[in-house]
C-alpha cells in the first residue's frame, strides 16, 4: 500500500515538473505579474482537479462494481493511452519556450477562474486521470471511491507544491531555462520513461 502510494507521488512529481501548458502558464503569470498572481492561477488549476477526481472516482467505481471485465478494458486503455502520450512527448520539441509578451493583466480572482476553467474544460485531463489513477488503486478493504479521492488528494498536493514553487521561483527558473538548453531534453525523457514504465506495469 505505502509503496504504491509513494510510486504514485513520485510519478506525479515528475509529471508536474515536466513542462506543459499549465505550469508554463503559471510561470509566465508569475514572471509578468508577480508570484501572487501565479499562485492564484495554481489554486484555480488545483480546484479543477477536484472536479476531474470526482468524475473518475464515481464513474470508474460504478464500473468496477458492475463489470470487472470492463475495468480491465479501462486499464488496458490506460496503458495504450500512456504509450500514446510517451510517443507524443518523443515527437515533440524538447526545447522549452515561453513568451511573456502581450500577457494580459488580470486580477487574482480572474486568474483563479482562468486556471479553474482551463483545467475543468480540458477533456484531456479527464482522460489522463482515467488512464492514470486506476493503475494505483492500493487496497482491497478501502472503498474504491475513497481510494480515488486519496489519490486525487495526493495528486493535488504534490502538484500544488511543484506549481507553487514555480510561482515563487519564476525568475530563477526562467533564467535557468534560458541558460541551460538541455533542461528540456532531460525533462522530456523523464516523462517518456515514466509513461512507458506505468504502461509496461499494466500490460505485464
Q: Mean pLDDT, to the nearest integer, of 166-173?
A: 86
User: What single string gives the DSSP state of each residue in 35-67?
Assistant: HHHHHHHHHHHHHHHHHHHHHHHHHHHHHHHH-
Any domain includes 116: yes
Q: What are phi and psi of 91, to 5 degrees?
A: -80, -15
Q: Which residue has the higher pLDDT, 94 or 131?
A: 131
d(CA 139, CA 3) in angstroms, rounded, equals 12
Any domain includes 76: no
What pLDDT is stored for residue 47 in this prediction?
A: 95
- Rounded to two decimals, what is the model's pTM? 0.84
Question: What proportion of the chain, given as a percentage, has pLDDT over 90?
Answer: 29
User: What single string gives the DSSP state of each residue in 153-186?
Assistant: HHHHHHHHHHHHHHHHTHHHHHHHHHH-TTHHHH
**What CA–CA distances, in Å, run from 175 to 1, 21, 79?**
40, 19, 36
Q: Which residue has the higher pLDDT, 32 or 149?
A: 149
Any domain includes 134: yes
What domain count does the chain have?
A: 1
Q: What is the pLDDT of residues 3-27, one digit of tens each?
A: 889 989 998 998 888 878 888 889 8
Any domain includes 14: yes
Mean of the per-residue pLDDT values of the chain: 86
Here the cell at position 37 is 498572481
Any domain includes 6: yes
Any domain includes 16: yes
Cβ–Cβ < 8 Å for 17, 187: yes
Q: What is the pLDDT of residues 120-168, one digit of tens each?
A: 988 888 888 888 888 888 888 999 899 999 999 999 999 999 999 999 8
Q: What is the pLDDT of residues 61-80, one digit of tens each?
A: 777 777 778 878 878 888 88
What residues make up the domain containing 55? 2-67+105-193
Residue 113, pLDDT above cutoff 90: yes
d(CA 15, CA 25) in angstroms, rounded, equals 15
Any domain includes 73: no
Any domain includes 87: no
Contacts of 91 (CB under 8 A, 6+ apart): none
Amino acid at each position: 500500500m505505502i509503496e504504491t502510494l509513494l510510486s504514485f507521488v513520485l510519478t506525479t512529481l515528475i509529471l508536474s515538473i515536466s513542462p506543459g501548458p499549465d505550469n508554463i502558464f503559471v510561470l509566465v503569470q508569475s514572471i509578468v505579474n508577480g508570484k501572487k498572481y501565479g499562485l492564484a492561477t495554481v489554486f484555480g488549476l488545483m480546484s479543477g482537479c477536484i472536479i476531474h477526481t470526482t468524475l473518475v472516482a464515481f464513474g470508474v467505481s460504478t464500473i468496477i462494481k458492475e463489470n470487472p471485465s470492463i475495468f480491465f478494458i479501462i486499464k488496458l486503455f490506460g496503458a495504450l493511452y500512456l504509450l500514446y502520450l510517451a510517443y507524443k512527448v518523443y515527437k515533440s520539441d524538447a526545447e522549452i519556450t515561453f513568451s511573456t509578451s502581450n500577457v494580459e493583466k488580470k486580477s487574482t480572482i480572474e486568474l483563479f477562474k482562468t486556471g479553474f476553467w482551463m483545467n475543468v474544460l480540458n477533456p484531456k485531463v479527464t482522460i489522463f486521470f482515467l488512464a492514470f489513477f486506476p493503475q494505483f488503486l492500493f487496497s482491497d478493504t478501502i472503498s474504491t471511491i475513497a481510494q480515488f479521492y486519496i489519490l486525487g488528494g495526493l495528486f493535488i498536493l504534490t502538484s500544488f507544491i511543484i506549481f507553487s514553487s514555480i510561482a515563487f521561483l519564476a525568475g530563477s527558473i526562467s533564467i535557468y531555462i534560458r541558460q541551460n538548453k538541455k533542461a528540456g531534453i532531460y525533462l522530456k525523457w523523464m516523462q517518456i520513461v515514466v509513461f512507458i514504465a506505468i504502461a509496461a506495469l499494466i500490460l505485464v
